[in-house]
Chains A and B, each alone.
Chain A
Amino acid sequence: MGRYVIRRLLQMIPVFIGTTFIIFAMVHALGDPVAALFGDKAPDPAVAAQIRQQLGLNDPLIVQYGNYMKGIFTGDLGTTFSGQPVTELLKTAYPTTLKLTLVAFTFEVIIGIGLGVISGMRRGKLADTGVMVMTLIVISIPTFVIGYVLQYLFGVKWGIADATVPEGAPIQSLILPGIVLASVSLAYVARLTRTTIAENSKADYVRTAVAKGLPRRRVVTHHLLRNSLIPVITFLGTDLGALMGGALVTERIFNIHGVGYYLYQGILRQNTPTVVGFVTVLVIVFLLANLLVDLLYAVLDPRIRYA
């Protein structure tokens, strides 16, 4: 197990280098960052050349990347064009996004699995049909539509929830954005749970559990659910990373100053250090979440052993 973890961690290194380089190159390809810095006005060529020189933008791409990577290993992720260190931005943005993600993740787990179990156990009944139709609707509508509609209804028209999230992002103001962020994943989780529950309820070992005279509740919780949740947990793990990345849209809608907000600003200004810094952290989170899922998998299913 320990060796497996180490191997997986080592595998992260090439992934890390690859992703950072691709992002670095892509942001570079977007165009001239100095021009973007000046907005609509054309910069004075002499000033622009001086800034380029300062930021090392005249060096070949690979040299710029090398300089950037050198910085990373000394804890320096570069500075934004406004002079703020990227690490500082990360420190303010990530806790907020993490909080939002956790709220969304909680909804996804509780409501998604709950609905899935209910509809899987009552296949073909009204509850099942209801869940299927609802989740299909949620999956079909883009998040930003759901987001704006819910924001308008709950936040503006009925005034039940905060329409925008104030500074500091208190938990209660994140409930509505959390639901919006979770909505699509939640629908997938519900459907996936329903399928595995329905499939496993016909399994031989469930029949054995019934034949043993176990109460229905115990058959479901100890035998059916435990086995059915294994694929669901795999999905949840990979989705944790996707939720953080997907928070971009939700954060825009509810004006949350998280990862999505800064990333959006960074892309708009073609600020390579900001974009690469934020995406790199996202990538690491994604990789760690995947590793965690694989380890959890072995805990949940004793047939899987890593060596």
Chain B
Amino acid sequence: MGIHATEVTAEHGRGRTADSEDAPLLQVKDLHVEFRTRDGLAKAVNGVNYSVRAGETLAILGESGSGKSVSSQAVMGILDSPPGFVTGGEIVFKDQDLLKLSSEQRRKIRGTQMAMIFQDALSSLNPVHTVGTQLGEMFRVHRGTSKAEAKKKAVELMERVGIPAAKERVNQYPHQFSGGMRQRIMIAMALALEPDLIIADEPTTALDVTVQAQVMELLADLQREYNMGLILITHDLGVVADVADKIAVMYAGRIVETAPVHELYKRPAHPYTRGLLDSIPRLDQKGQELYAIKGLPPNLLRIPSGCAFNPRCPMAQEICRSEVPPLHAVTEADGAPIEGRGSACHFWKETIHG
């Protein structure tokens, strides 16, 4: 699904932003996560802020190691600890700071109020239990339903996510399903108790392209139906374009740019985002060499001083090596504010306007 940067702008706006006065469903404030490894301290997330409202889709975009998965694992409370530790910030979910809750309280929130969909459904589903057992487990554990009732619910869920012959297939094992069907089961499992928030960690990366679109569509449909908040973690700009309302681009544990989805594709305000967009193959540039951001993502044990992107940035100046850029509010050239836009670049003005 090669995305045409200019095409995407048309695809947006489902009138979901109407309840913008309400408090957000989830608000992550100045989140810090570090990994205490044998080689030293890896600062995976360094002061991340974002929020998601009911019915809204936030896409978090970034390369591997940008902290996009780690920040969402911190939200779910499933960070591998040790070595991972949340060292600062707040995760406010439905008006309570999750970081202040006991582990038992957080466990009860997982699955019931927030759920997660993982990348590789084959390894993420338990190979020795039937899908029915694994789906039914949600009801058995959280709702105390009987075995028979849980199985009935599992069949309903499978039908809901479009698995044919659900009644028979409920007794099959994950390896007996195709990749797309398995991911549907993952989605069904996340959806089971109708949570308010779903975090999907690269839900389509392991699937082939034709199935990707179906799965994303299903996810978007269900989200609309249940008015859930959705955090979509991905490195695939194509996936994001069709479903997200807003995007946060992460680099080396920070959000370097936030924007409504069509805005970002139209005119990025950070050189890193621009580099990502330029590296998408485009039909109108057929035959030319594809752009690539030079260099490698930074080692989290030794994040470069100043702006972490400076060693790879074509626009880097002296100030980029010494000062960490804050997330500037991005405005129009005449200074008029743009809703929801921010860029952590000293030269955002030059990037977006000039």
Contact = CB atoms under 8 A, between A and B. Distances in A.
Interface of A: 202-205, 207-215, 218, 222-223, 226-227, 300-303
A227 B125 CA distance: 12
23 contacts: A202-B80, A204-B124, A205-B123, A205-B124, A205-B125, A205-B127, A207-B78, A207-B118, A208-B118, A208-B126, A210-B78, A210-B110, A213-B110, A213-B142, A214-B111, A214-B141, A215-B141, A222-B137, A223-B126, A223-B129, A226-B128, A300-B128, A301-B128
Interface string B212-247: 000000000000000000000000000000000000
B120 interface: yes
Contact of A203 (B111, B123, B189): B123
Nearest to B116: A211
Given A205-B123, A226-B128, A300-B128, A211 B137 contact: no
B332 to A, nearest CB: 42
Contacts of B115: 211-212
Contacts of A202: 80
B173 A214 contact: no
B138 A204 contact: no
A205 B133 CA distance: 14
A208 to B, nearest CB: 5
Interface residues of B, number: 28
A204 to B, nearest CB: 4
Given A214-B111, A227-B127, 8 more contacts: A205-B127, A208-B118, A210-B78, A211-B110, A212-B138, A213-B110, A213-B112, A302-B173
A279 to B, nearest CB: 37
B139 to A, nearest CB: 11
Contacts of B110: 210-213
A204 B118 contact: yes
Contacts of B175: 302-303
A275 to B, nearest CB: 43
A287 B117 CA distance: 45
A303 B141 contact: no
A213 B141 CA distance: 8
A2 B130 CA distance: 23
Most interface-central of A210, A211, A226, A227 (chain B CB within 10 A): A211
A215 B103 CA distance: 10
Contacts of B124: 204-205, 207-208
B76 interface: yes
Nearest to A209: B126
B128 A302 contact: yes
B107 interface: yes
Contacts of A222: 129, 137
A204 B173 CA distance: 16
Contacts of B116: 208, 211
A300 B127 CA distance: 10
B12 interface: no
B320 to A, nearest CB: 37
B87 to A, nearest CB: 21
B100 interface: no
Contacts of A213: 107-112, 141-142
Contact of A214 (B80, B123, B125, B137): B137
Given A211-B116, A212-B189, A227 B128 contact: yes
A156 to B, nearest CB: 48
A225 to B, nearest CB: 11
Nearest to A302: B173
A212 B110 CA distance: 6
Contacts of B108: 213
Contacts of A203: 123
Contacts of A302: 127-128, 130, 173, 175
Contacts of A218: 141
Given A207-B78, A211-B76, A213-B112, A301 B118 contact: no
Contacts of B137: 212, 214, 222
Given A211-B111, A211-B115, A226-B128, A204 B78 contact: no
